[in-house]
Amino acid sequence: MLNRLSQDAVGAITSRIAGTHRLAPQVLAEIASRADGVPLFVEELTEAVVELAESGSGEGIGAATIPATLHIH
């Protein structure tokens, strides 16, 4: 049985993926909440948020702009 990631581990993953993008604390908290400590979900949700920021539609990214579901290509 695998344990869920700790809050610190989720923070480390989101920080690594976000790179130079500064994600608001409420966005990070929402990613952690929605991913429920599952590493793949943390990565994919963070990547989706970063893509929004890079596309220019990321102005004012808030928790509401985090995708409700994941579509992995």
Tens digit of each residue's pLDDT, the chain (73 residues): 778 999 899 999 999 999 888 888 888 888 998 899 999 999 999 998 888 877 765 555 665 567 666 665 5
Specify if 19 maps to a domain: yes
Q: What is the pLDDT at residue 22?
A: 83
For residue 38, what pLDDT is reported? 92
The answer to whether residue 73 is domain-embedded is no
| Number of domains into which the chain is organized | 1
pLDDT for 21 equals 84
* Structural domain boundaries enclosing 14: 7-60
Contact between 42 and 49 (Cβ < 8 Å): no
Nearest to 51 by CA among 39, 61, 42, 41: 61
In a domain, 67, yes or no: no
**Residue 21 lies inside a defined structural domain of this protein:** yes
